[in-house]
Amino acid sequence: MRHPTRRVQYVLFLLCIIECASKGSQGAKYVKPKVPALFTFGDSIVDPGNNDFIATNVKSNHPPYGMNFNGNRSTGRCSNGKLSMDFLVEALGIKETLPPYLDPDLTIHDLLTGVSFGSAGSGYDNLTAMAVDVIPMWKQAELFRNYKARVEEGVGSKNTSNLISQALYVAVAGTNDFVQNYFYMPIRRKEFKVEQYGGLVIHGCKSFLEELYKLGARKIAVFGLPPIGCLPVQKTILKENKVKGCIKHCNKIAVSYNRKLNKTIEELGVRLPGIKLVYVDIYAIVLDLVNYPAKYGFEAATRGCCGTGMSEIGLTCNSKTPVSCKDPAKYVFWDAVHLTERAYHIANNIALIKYYSKLL
């Protein structure tokens, strides 16, 4: 990326603010933003394509991923279309989609209005990311530090500080730590009982949030675990494909973890001056979609659209894999882990009203 002079970048910064306000006043596509930018960290739920720019096999930048995205483009998003964070940044009146930070073609406007540092396959346990060569959470925090330096060079430290303190942050991780790491690989299972491992993951989350706070973040939404026992791939991993509903003991693990995570978040909220922390109960949101699909206009909630819908993810969900559903909008799951664009849209609308609104 070619860097304009500081004076030019400052002018661009002001034009960006004016443009956003103008769009809001016209009542056209966006309303006036309640926050200046959105920054996301975590795993595939918030990775719009960062993994496209690193040496890893954890990628979804190929068909049929993105079949319903703008121009039928496979951008690296793990869905048939937009992710939840794309809908969030649009609902906030900031921009249409949230780009990956590692995209070399980002403009100053892209940077000033928010980016995602998420990396598919990552987790709060460093081993989770190391095992599949993706960006661990501590590295995502380092990339955010790098982001701050880039923006300070363009618009100065005061404008950057204001932007950072007023922006909204979303952290989504933990699922891979359990599904990809603890249940699938033997190392952590030999070292920890599942409750102990949950403590290790929560400690990683706590350390990450403290680092974000040091870097200036003040409005942070933190996702708990979804109902991991309802993920099609989890049934395959544990060889419980014949289970009609969700795997109960896996969901109990998620509930226990979420309860402790919520308590940790509350304690941090008291201990760190000026911070606003909100726990997002994604477990309840996704469980309702799975248990009552017809209520939301879905027809299927036990398997994904790609292939059999029980094991295909990333490289195994490819152009040679048949898309078994005619209309992804009628399915809760796109592949064996990730939601469809429509399910993400619904989940975001619920989270916006119940959780994000507390930070705006």
b/e sequence 52-82, b meaning 16+ C-beta within 10 Å: beeebebbbbebbbbbbbeeeebbbbbbbbb
3-state SS, residue 2: coil
DSSP state of 331: B
- Residue 286's identity, in one-letter code, is V
In what order do the strands lie in the sheet containing 276-280?
Answer: 38-42, 168-172, 219-223, 276-280
Q: In angstroms, rounded to a whole number, what is the distance separating the alpha carbons of residues 164 and 144?
A: 10
Q: Which residue, among 56, 89, 24, 25, has the nearest Cα to 344 in the 3D structure?
A: 89
The answer to whether 154 and 4 are in contact (CB under 8 A) is yes
The answer to whether 152 and 160 are in contact (CB under 8 A) is yes
- Residues whose CB falls within 8 Å of the CB of residue 88, separated by 6 or more in sequence, listed in order: 38, 98, 170, 348, 351, 352, 356
Q: In angstroms, rounded to a whole number, what is the distance separating the alpha carbons of residues 355 and 285?
A: 12
Q: Is the peptide bond before 322 cis (omega within 30 degrees of 0)?
A: no
Query: Distances from the Cα of 112 to the Cαs of 48, 245, 302, in angstroms?
Result: 17, 44, 40
Q: What are phi and psi of 315, to 5 degrees?
A: -65, -25
Output Rg (C-alpha) for the chain, integer angstroms. Answer: 20
Catalytic residues: 44, 335, 338
Would you list the DSSP string of 99-112?
PBTT-TT--HHHHH
Residue 278 CA, chain-centre distance (Å), reads 15
